Structure 1
Amino acid sequence: MTDAEPGLRERKRRATRLAIQQAALRIAIEHGLQAVTVDEVSRRADVSPRTFFNYFPSKEQAILGDDPTLPQGEEVEAFVAGGPSGDLLPDLGVLLVRSARELIEERGLIEERQQVLRANPELFSQRMASMKEFQSGIQVVVERRLRRGAGLGDGDGDGTADLDTDTDTDTDAVLRRRARLASLVGLAALRHAWWEWSESDADVHLVDELARSFDDLGALVSRSLV
């Protein structure tokens, strides 16, 4: 499931992004968070401050690294429409695999980042906030899929509910509850894959670990939500 080898331009982009993160983390470990400045990070990473801001909006984000984001456009719409397999959790796994492809996959940063986060609770809180936002985004697209599957349209209230509930309000509450559950399960599988990947052999790809985590999840769940 790994992607084809990236081109030279993409390799340079990833190398620059990685160098900026490494510099920010090492300054924080060696001298404390207050010593991390855009100018110092840029100097150590051998880039200009302008280049720094092309990659990260702030020094804090350089330390935290890339936030996971859902793919946009056709991939999300295909998921909402019930694809690619028709089973919710495996399909959510496919969507998150595509999200994981955008992450910087450098094991060397994990231990250093955790060290900085432990020493700076405010950064840990920021990381948790970004993950909560990501989970909310997952919940939105899952709820859209559930609504469409229940004949309620794509979140605009049209159509007729097929679920066995007394009112449309009850149906909305049921779908919202299920969407939240699915999003939290999906996020847990992503975290599981991340930790398995961080402890695995060097040639193992994060995307493959995520696919494996969802396969394991499927083996544990007797039936899908839809």
Structure 2
Amino acid sequence: MQNLVEPSAAPTGLRERKKRERREALIDAAQTLVLERGLDAVTVDDICASVGVSTRTFFNYFASKDDAVLGVEEFSPSAGAVQDFVAGGPTGDLLDDLQVLVADLLAHQVMSLERVHRAIKLVEREHRLLARHMWWIENLRTGLIDAFDRRRTQHPFVPEPELLAMVVMALLRTTTLEWERLGRTGEPVDHLGSVVDQLRALVCPGRPPGDPGSPG
């Protein structure tokens, strides 16, 4: 990315960074306190006191204590990426275009793996959190299926949208695991291409890795 930024954009970037840092501090505090005391023994006031913010500030970031513990936030492809995909782009090849969608999702996945792992640990311990966690996953899944349905209306393809949603989920998880396996070099999205090549090797065994043009 070029380091050419309009002067008026700099304060916005600084504000966004500070908002992100405060949000992460609230997640860290919520997860740490719940790991120490248990979910029912921790209040929003406790979390706020740990970070040094007001409850009003807390609710600017999270709808509930449970959401702070899970680090719940909107997780979906950008509107531009969805619009391009629905219109049959950016390449016209279904798997390649799915890869672009997954790359867009990974670019917006801002919660660190440490926080994700703590959230998973807490879901396993605090069963009440499971329903909220499942809602978050289902929200992503249904949004993807809607995009796939809309594309298929304009540009027919064979695979069912439900199957494509499962492929996206698998690519997200496998790419992150690959990133971890290789020592967290670069960003997770840097490893997406090799994971997609593995998928191609499964469904198109005679096709060279990275070769575009699979049937849609």
Structure 2 length-normalised TM = 0.80
Give SS of 1:109's match.
helix
Correspondence for 1:214 among 196, 213, 216: 196
Aligned CA-pair RMSD? 2.5
CA distance in 1, matches of 2:177, 2:2: 24
Letter of the 2:75 partner, please give it: P
How far off its partner does 1:198 sit?
4.3
For the 8 Å contact 2:44–2:65, the answer to whether it is kept is: yes
Is 2:43 aligned against 1:37? yes
**C-alpha offsets along residues 57-101 of structure 1, whole Å, 9 cap, x if unaligned?**
1111111113522322x3212111111111112212211221222
For the 8 Å contact 1:139–1:183, the answer to whether it is kept is: yes
Give SS of 2:160's match.
helix
Letter of the 1:104 partner, please give it: V
Partner of 1:135: 141
Structure 2 counterparts to residues 73-152 of structure 1, below 5 A: 74-150=80-156
How far off its partner does 1:203 sit?
4.5
Partner of 2:161: 179
Segments of structure 1 that go 5 or more residues without pairing to the other structure are 151-162, 164-174
Letter of the 1:143 partner, please give it: D
CA distance in 1, matches of 2:51, 2:24: 9
Distance 1:49 1:225, change over 3 A: farther
CA distance in 2, matches of 1:67, 1:190: 16
Letter of the 2:31 partner, please give it: L
CA distance in 1, matches of 2:55, 2:76: 25
Segments of structure 2 that go 5 or more residues without pairing to the other structure are 4-9, 205-212
Letter of the 1:218 partner, please give it: R
Correspondence for 2:177 among 186, 195, 205: 195
Distance 1:39 1:211, change over 3 A: farther
Structure 1 length-normalised TM = 0.77
Percent pairwise identity: 35
